[in-house]
Amino acid sequence: MEQVEKQEAQIQKPKKETKEEREQREIQLQNEYVKQKYEKRGQHKQEQDKQQETPKIWNVQEDQYKEKIRQEIGNNLNGKPKMPVIFFKWTEEHEKKANSVIQQDEQVQEEENYNKFEDTAHKQWDKFYKNHKLGFFHHRYYLRNEFPELTSIKQENRQNQTYILTELGCGVGDTIFPLKIEYPNLNLQASDFSAKAVEWVKRSSEFDPERVKAEVMDLVKDDFPKEFEPSDLVTLIFCLSAISPENQQNVIKKIYDWMKPGSVIYFRDYGRYDFSQLNFSRKKGRKLKDNFYVKHDGTRVYYATEQEIRNYFLNAGFKERECKAHYRYLENRKTGLEMYRVWIQARFEKPAENPIFDYYGPIHFEEHDLTEKKKEMEVQKQQFQQDQKNQSEKESSIQESQKQQIEKNEQLNQKEGKLDQKLIDKLEQKLQKNDKLLEEQINENATNNGNSETQNQQKDQN
């Protein structure tokens, strides 16, 4: 017994994984995941190099959003065709319905809670990125269609020049890393309010310190990092909405003062009456101020109007290139839930005598009458269902034909089996008969031989 106890004591117990080791293992797993994503995309960069130079007149028609359809839309659920990309005309009726939902939510959180969420905002975002990791996020590839100043650096006369792009509110790098691959002549600077997000960026296998800088920055309280150079291009994507509305104008002014004369900023964020805002209003208890809400994870979001965003930038000194509210209709193909998404998309230039980029006007695409488009979609849906039904009937007919052929073959096999059995029975009967005859002959021969021997013995005795 003592020897057994000594042997058990000598056996080394598995070492418990430390917090640092666990985080390092998670980083490795996430890096492998990102690497696999790029392998699946295949010839992404090669396809981009084949594109023609960006024209000075930048018109994006509906067919140029086919890539978005592949990337963003679901699959054929409930016998419905794929959801097309539908930008629709916002009407007074839409606004009236949305306002009626928002006005029903009169419950506003107390000032104490408001200040609490303001003071702990960085902790909430750290928690957000810690919980979701990298696999939760998806790289953004739509800038090539919506930021012509960026795309223009691939033109032949600009390929030998190096440009700098700064992303404010970089998250885990879903914008900068695709750009790093697609634009070899572009260096990148990224900042985020969350130290955890910046940590993920620096630990990523896609991070290249020679081309990418990443720093923690609070746009409300901090100055721009000393390591950052005033850049040619700036992006502010779904970042301003996370800042308290009373601080937003000062943030835009701070960005303006830091930017290089002639540089261009690309802005995209949630717009007033977005589906998610109406959802917050229906739930109630999420409202911090008018159009300002706290999410279930403690992060916050503000829904601005097109004019609010325009005023922020113009008051700071920017020159408008584009500022427009986009309205897009989506439908959950599984539940049938209709969603009216709204976001503000804008580009502004810091004025200069010699602008860095040519002027590219607003992006144009077709806006549909939603009522007519829904009718068209219903016709397409019915046609799709009919095609599915015809295909199903055709497959059923083929299966039934195959089933009948199988049954026929089985019947033939059974019939042949019965014939074979009859033949076997006849052969067995014949063999049994032959065996019987042979046995009788053997017995007869034995009898004859016995009689002959008896006769011979009698002769010998005589």
The predicted model gives 388-402 an average pLDDT of: 82
Tell me what pLDDT residue 61 has: 41
Tell me what pLDDT residue 56 has: 36
Q: Which residues pair with 346 in a beta bridge?
A: 267, 323
Query: H or E segment at 223?
Result: none
Tell me what pLDDT residue 69 has: 41
6 vs 3, 14, 39, CA distance in Å? 5, 18, 52
Tell me what pLDDT residue 14 has: 52
The predicted model gives 344-371 an average pLDDT of: 86
> DSSP alpha helices (H): ranges in 301-341?
306-316
CB atoms within 10 A of CB 183: 20
DSSP labels, 27-83: HHHHHHHHHHHHHHH-SHHHHHHTSPPPPSS----GGGGHHHHHHH-----TT-PPP
Q: Which residues pair with 267 in a beta bridge?
A: 236, 346
Q: What is the CATH number of domain 21-368?
A: 3.40.50.150
CA separation for the pair 171, 212 (Å, rounded): 14
CA separation for the pair 84, 69 (Å, rounded): 7
Determine the 3-state secondary structure of 344 from DSSP.
strand
Is the pLDDT at 55 greater than 50? The verdict is no
CA angle (98 as vertex; 95, 103 as ends), nearest 5: 115
Tell me what pLDDT residue 454 has: 61
The predicted model gives 36-50 an average pLDDT of: 54
Residues 6 or more apart in contact with residue 59 via CB below 8 angstroms: 363, 364
Counting Cβ atoms within 10 Å, is residue 213 exposed (0-12), middle (13-18) or buried (19+)?
Answer: buried
Is the pLDDT at 124 greater than 70? The verdict is yes
Is the pLDDT at 4 greater than 60? The verdict is no
The predicted model gives 327-341 an average pLDDT of: 83
Categorize the per-residue pLDDT at 134 as very low, low, confident or very high, splitting at 50, 70 and 90.
low
Least confident of 2-11, 156-165, 414-423: 2-11
CB of 415 closer than 8 Å to CB of 409: no
Tell me what pLDDT residue 41 has: 58
CA separation for the pair 426, 179 (Å, rounded): 85
Question: Mean pLDDT score of the chain, rounded to an integer?
Answer: 80
Selection from 258, 256, 418, 278 nearest residue 349 by Cα: 256
The percent of residues in the chain predicted with pLDDT above 90, rounded, is 39
Least confident of 90-104, 166-180, 249-263, 420-434: 420-434
Structure tokens at 195: 């130290």
Is the pLDDT at 453 greater than 80? The verdict is no
Q: What is the identity of the amino acid at 294?
A: V
Determine the 3-state secondary structure of 370 from DSSP.
helix
Tell me what pLDDT residue 77 has: 42
Tell me what pLDDT residue 375 has: 78
Tell me what pLDDT residue 455 has: 61
- pLDDT tens-digit map of 70-96: 444 444 444 455 667 788 888 899 999
Structure tokens at 375: 């009718």
Tell me what pLDDT residue 140 has: 81
Domain ranges of the chain: 21-368, 370-432
Is the pLDDT at 260 greater than 70? The verdict is yes
- 30-44: buried (b, 16+ CB within 10 Å) or exposed (e) per residue? bbeebeeebeeeeee
Is the pLDDT at 188 greater than 90? The verdict is yes
- pLDDT tens-digit map of 209-218: 999 999 999 9
Categorize the per-residue pLDDT at 401 as very low, low, confident or very high, splitting at 50, 70 and 90.
confident
